[in-house]
Amino acid sequence: MTEAWPAPHAPSPVDAVVPLPGSKSITARALVLAAIADGPSRLVRPLRARDTDLMAAGLRALGVAIDPEDDDLLVSPAPLRGPAHVDVGLAGTVLRFLPPVAALATGEVTFDGDARMRERPNAGLLNGLRDLGVDIPDTGRGSVPFTVRGTGRVPGGHAVVDASDSSQVLSGLLLAAARFDAGADLELTGGLPSMPHVEMTVTTLREHGVDVTATDRGWRVSPGPIRALDRTIEPDLSNAAPFLAAALVTGGRVTVPDWPAVTTQPGAQLDRLFAAMGAAVERTAAGLTVTGTGSIAPLVADLGEVGELTPVLAALCALADGRSELTGIGHLRGHETDRLQALEEVLTAVGARVRQLPDGLVIEPGPPRPAVLDSYADHRMVHAAAVLGLAIDGVRVTGAGAVTKTLPDFRERWAAMLGSPS
Ligand SMILES: O=C(O)C1=C[C@@H](OP(=O)(O)O)[C@@H](O)[C@H](O)C1
Ligand SMILES: C=C(OP(=O)(O)O)C(=O)O
């Protein structure tokens, strides 16, 4: 095992400009839509990280050409074919976005991933695809491993979809639906977390010329071509969270440049969330600037729309002036790790008192103490530990390599922000 990462302590306020690479979620959608479009597309500044590399590898396995050119990716659709194998790794986007694409291929496509992936919920997607006429033998488990028996076409039509465990189930079906014979009329049953990510899917589809409309029970996609489209990928605003949080912890100032004026990324809500925690947040031509005061106000918030921001916000709550309550995030138990359990363990280890709710966490700060924290193979738990380490001297993180999932050089960027060698 590699050595634990000593999360740097910040004895003085940070003052930094932190540029960030492309959004995981937008890159994933752009790759999928470009792969099943009516011609070649260029993705400018896509994210290159484990999740998006797995997405590209899965699409290549199905016959799509994806070629790097400088910082760009050139995507050239081709007839989709099996037999093929897709490694989903620990990427929810690959787990939920590629089976509907594989259903359009001729031949069998098998799916498997990291050990934890066998526990991440996916029955909603597989049942939805079966409703749409796709042959996926029942293995008695909701997630990987499974096989999609593609015939080259998907009948489509009406399907009942349970996306209550993950919005990616709905996004995955929506992304490929225009290529189904009858499109798709998706009737949602149960709740739906992460609404901004669904809006991201719908917006991206419309940019590719797809007719997608909200109905009184879900979403409908008309059958038709998906237009090829060159697109520049926005910076990843969720990965901006730990860097901006450093301004709150240290009473400093952090700017993330190229912050989009309009975006469907859930990270756009960081401005109101950090403002609620006492920071000054300013959007200028230079980007988004967060300035902290050195003290952090507690947060009481429903994070159901922005679940992936939870680990960093929870770390801030453990350093705040009072009791925080984060709700609407029961589905985080099915993320890279059970994030509610992992956060309880980590925040307790550094001195906070934490109580799990069925759908959230109550966090009361206590006298901080150093600890060795695990990453739980979860990139965002490393981000959370890094935020804690700024305030608590002596935090070390095992398995910090989990950051490769969406930001491989996180530790180098963190050190650069602090003006110290990694
Ligand atoms: O569609 C997407 O790109 C994502 C949707 C969300 O998933 P859940 O709805 O499963 O939380 C989010 O947490 C994940 O990081 C990315
Ligand atoms: C939940 C996340 O990832 P995934 O796409 O694997 O679901 C995340 O990045 O916070």
Give residue-wise pLDDT tens across range 184-201: 999 999 999 999 999 999
Q: What is the pLDDT of residue 422?
A: 43
Tens-digit pLDDT profile for residues 384-410: 999 999 999 999 999 999 999 999 999
Burial of residue 213 (CB within 10 Å: 0-12, 13-18, 19+) is: exposed
Please compute the mean of the pLDDT values over residues 222-248 and round it to a whole number. 98
CATH superfamily of 5-21+235-418: Enolpyruvate transferase domain (3.65.10.10)
Q: Name which residue sits closest to atom 7 of ligand 2, judged by CA.
A: 92
- 117-126 b/e with 16+ CB inside 10 Å = b? beebbbebbb
Q: Name which residue sits closest to atom 10 of ligand 1, judged by CA.
A: 166
Asked whether residue 61 carries a pLDDT value surpassing 80, the answer given is yes
Classified as helix, coil or strand, 345 is helix
Please compute the mean of the pLDDT values over residues 242-246 and round it to a whole number. 98
Asked whether residue 421 carries a pLDDT value surpassing 80, the answer given is no
Q: Which of 234, 308, 336, 344 is catalytic?
A: 308
Please compute the mean of the pLDDT values over residues 411-422 and round it to a whole number. 86
Q: In what order do the strands lie in the sheet with 396-398?
A: 5-6, 396-398, 372-374
Q: Token pair of 300, please? A: 């009481």
Q: Are 256 and 16 in contact (CB under 8 A)?
A: no
Integer Cα distance of 299 and 362 in angstroms: 10
Sign, CA dihedral 70-408-238-203, equals: positive
Query: What is the 407 CA–ligand 2 centroid distance (Å)?
Result: 12
Nearest to 186 by CA among 166, 205, 164, 163: 163
> Which atom, in ligand 1's list, is nearest to the CA of 171?
1
Tens-digit pLDDT profile for residues 297-324: 999 999 999 999 999 999 999 999 999 9
Domain residue spans of the chain: 5-21+235-418, 24-221
Asked whether residue 349 carries a pLDDT value surpassing 80, the answer given is yes
Mean pLDDT of the chain: 97
Q: Which fold has domain 24-221?
A: UDP-n-acetylglucosamine1-carboxyvinyl-transferase; Chain (3.65.10)
Query: What is the 329 CA–ligand 2 centroid distance (Å)?
Result: 13
Q: What is the pLDDT of residue 2?
A: 72
Tens-digit pLDDT profile for residues 9-31: 999 999 999 999 999 999 999 99
Integer Cα distance of 246 and 236 in angstroms: 17
Q: Are 31 and 233 in contact (CB under 8 A)?
A: no
Integer Cα distance of 206 and 194 in angstroms: 19
Of 93, 194, 305, which is best to mutate to test ligand 1, by the most ligand atoms within 8 angstroms of its C-beta?
194
> 141 falls in which pLDDT band (50, 70, 90)?
confident
- Do domains 5-21+235-418 and 24-221 share one topology? The answer is yes
Instruction: Quickly count helices (H) and strands (E) in the chain.
Output: 12, 22
Query: What is the 368 CA–ligand 1 centroid distance (Å)?
Result: 31
> Which atom, in ligand 1's list, is nearest to the CA of 334?
10
Q: Give me the amino acid identity at 74.
A: L
Integer Cα distance of 198 and 356 in angstroms: 27
- 377's CB contacts (< 8 A; 6+ apart) are 90, 114, 116, 336, 337, 399, 402
ipTM of the complex: 0.99
Tens-digit pLDDT profile for residues 267-297: 999 999 999 999 999 999 999 999 999 899 9
Please compute the mean of the pLDDT values over residues 136-140 and round it to a whole number. 93
The verdict on the CB of residue 122 being under 6 Å from ligand 1 is no
Integer Cα distance of 396 and 371 in angstroms: 7
Tens-digit pLDDT profile for residues 80-110: 999 999 999 999 999 999 999 999 999 999 9
Q: What is the pLDDT of residue 58?
A: 98
> Which atom, in ligand 1's list, is nearest to the CA of 308?
13
Question: What share of the chain has pLDDT > 70, as a percent?
Answer: 99
Asked whether residue 1 carries a pLDDT value surpassing 70, the answer given is no
308 is annotated as an active-site residue:
yes
Query: What is the 312 CA–ligand 1 centroid distance (Å)?
Result: 16
* Ligand that comes closest to the CA of residue 125: 1
Of 174, 308, 309, which is best to mutate to test ligand 1, by the most ligand atoms within 8 angstroms of its C-beta?
308
> Which atom, in ligand 1's list, is nearest to the CA of 28?
3
pTM: 0.98
